[in-house]
Structure 1
Amino acid sequence: MSKRRYPPIGCLIPFEAAARLGSMSAAARELGISQPAISRHLQLLEADLGQALFHRNRRGLSLTAAGRDYRDAVTLGLENIARATEILRAGGDQTIRIAANFGFAQQWLMPRFSRLRASYPALFFRLLTSDQDDELTLANSDLAIRFGTGDWPGWHSVQLFQEEVFPICSPAYVGERPHLHKAGIAAGDLLGERLLHMDEVNARWLTWANWLRLQGLKPPAAKPQLLYSTYPLLLQATLAGEGIALGWRGLVDPLLQSGSLVQLLPGLHRPEHGYFVTYRIGHSAEKLLREIVDWLLSEMPREPSP
């Protein structure tokens, strides 16, 4: 196998700075070296590659087509080196522990987990799932996906999406009840139906009782016969046609888009509530965590689901 021939390694950082800033003077100021030194690095790199990377004019630098392609490759390589360096300086192979409730973990995070790992190949990820949102549960997490209003003292929080809640059921369930797919169905039409309930020990999420009150209706007096301990179990029962559940925008969208579930009524918005990605203020890997937060935000749809 032939020996791999690398470019002049010391030229790559000056090249990246000049390409990003569009100026040798600006690159020199950022790197703390002289402008002639930047110029020599760029000339050496171009001579090694055998082609021009920049157009030089009085207004500064602009990349050639070859320069743009090379900039993209060099930038990616330097970012990977910087990330790996940060991990080693933090003490070697780094594990990022992400805490999330069962519903968010299964419905939103897991379909994206392989892409997250591929984006950070030097990291190890551990997913911690629990519906308990307390200090003891979150103590071992680096990132926590939390539901609420974003007000957690000592934590940075960035909202992923606002809360929008609506009744959902299977096509089979609604198909057997013509009154549910008539025009002008209202919230009151659901009072005589089988409403599927989560265990209501945590008031952060909307319950059927609160959802009905917000619709101006009085909840049924009878207690539900069955409570589901996690949201995935509740969705499984809904998919099986057991009844009507409350669905959260962002979690059930793929099931609606595939036709596995049906949305019965428009969504109820509580914009001050929603899912937030959070990490502790002063975390030792704060820069890396901010990167991962940005990655998670990039996975959000550009337009709201219908």
Structure 2
Amino acid sequence: MTRKMPPLAAVRVFEAAARLENFTAAANELGMTQAAVSYQVKLLEERLKAPLFLRERGRAVLTPLGAKLLPGLTQAFDTIEAAFASQREEDEALLTIATTRTFANAWLVWRLGAFQLDHPDLGVRLVTDGKLADLNAGEADIAIRAGQGQWDGLEAERLLPIDYTPMCSPGFLARVEAQLGRKVEPADLPTLPMLSPQDDWWDNWLCAAGVASEGRPKRGGLRLDSQADEANAAMSGQGFVMLTPYFWRNDLAEGKLVQPFPLTTEGNFGYWLAMPPARKSVPKIRRFREWLLREIAKGAEVHQGPRG
């Protein structure tokens, strides 16, 4: 059904001028000039083919037609305002964060409860479905993404680099070194069980370690979609895996994982905090950003120390 309505902008101006009985006051409320208010009212009168106001000095007096229209229009605008106010309240009460499964499972969920306790008025929803959330469309308030920091229409702030190195479980390493009769070396890795062997991180790290990786087997092996899954598989003794030490330092300290070699490789990727520029000052987003940067800074201080 096609709605047969006058221009909504003109209707809105008429309602304000009629309610306030003054064109200047209506202009101030709507952020318009008095001339613009007069113009919109005139457009509506021409559409209706009847006057809505009797102009008197300092006051806009409604005609019978104007007085008849005002109550229904005021009620309609009150309903619209209430609908948007409800949405604003709901939006202000819930922070939706989109991120990768790795960042969520290996770092964020361990700390997010502390943020929520510090802000009990704010609900927190975490989205890790692997889909790149459209922040400008409101699918999430803010995102923590892996990449190079370039996403159209978004402001990105670098949180930390993504470096990586081989890791495995202590038991798996002990078995490998028992079979070799010596400590494992980087050159041994292409012949040993690897998790996600097709990952380019393996080639990059092996090259940095001075090991030619051309021709290494990339088929077979267990292929997993995230560091979170790969780390769990490594902890269960299924092979060497390429992981970011920053995320797994607790598991390293607790002896669930070991890092056989001190060498780490860093590509041109990092984790970034991304948000629409226009929403950067929204209180809930500002509070989360400030908290996240503090937590990242604390973790970076620990990360600079010797690795266990």
Shorter-chain TM-score: which interval?
A: 0.5 to 0.7
Mapping of residues 96-245 of structure 1, within 5 Å: 96-133=95-132, 135=134, 140-178=139-177, 186-197=185-196, 207-216=201-210, 217-219=212-214, 220-245=216-241
> Secondary structure of 1:191's match?
helix
Residue 291 in structure 1 maps to residue 290 in structure 2:
no
Q: Distance in 1 between matches of 2:206 and 2:260?
A: 14
Q: Is the 8 A contact 1:198 1:231 kept in 2?
A: no
Q: Is the 8 A contact 1:198 1:229 kept in 2?
A: no
More strand by percentage: 1
Q: CA deviation at 1:246?
A: 0.7
Q: CA deviation at 1:235?
A: 1.6
For residue 277 of structure 2, the aligned residue among 265, 277, 281 is 281
- Percentage of pairs with the same residue: 24
Which amino acid is the alignment partner of residue 248 of structure 1? T
Mapping of residues 256-267 of structure 1, within 5 Å: 256-267=252-263
Structure 1: gaps spanning 5 or more residues: 1-86, 201-205
> Secondary structure of 1:176's match?
helix
Q: Distance in 2 between matches of 1:136 and 1:160?
A: 18
> TM-score with structure 1 length normalisation?
0.61
* Higher Rg: 2
Q: CA deviation at 1:104?
A: 0.9
Q: Distance in 2 between matches of 1:138 and 1:189?
A: 49
Residue 255 in structure 1 maps to residue 251 in structure 2:
yes
Residues 250 and 131 of structure 1: CA distance in aligned 2, closer, same or farther (over 3 Å): farther
Residues 130 and 138 of structure 1: CA distance in aligned 2, closer, same or farther (over 3 Å): farther
Which amino acid is the alignment partner of residue 270 of structure 2? G
Mapping of residues 13-162 of structure 1, within 5 Å: 90-92=88-90, 94-133=93-132, 135=134, 140-162=139-161
Q: Distance in 2 between matches of 1:138 and 1:128?
A: 15
Partner of 1:203: none
More helix by percentage: 2
- Give CA-to-partner distance per residue, 1:223-273, whole Å, 9 cap, x none: 134311333222221111010101112211111111110002224342642
Q: Distance in 2 between matches of 1:161 and 1:103?
A: 14
Which amino acid is the alignment partner of residue 176 of structure 1? R
Partner of 1:268: 264
Count the aligned residue pairs: 214
Which amino acid is the alignment partner of residue 245 of structure 2? R
Q: Is the 8 A contact 2:168 2:257 kept in 1?
A: yes
Q: CA deviation at 1:222?
A: 4.3
Q: CA RMSD in A?
A: 3.1
Which amino acid is the alignment partner of residue 170 of structure 1? S
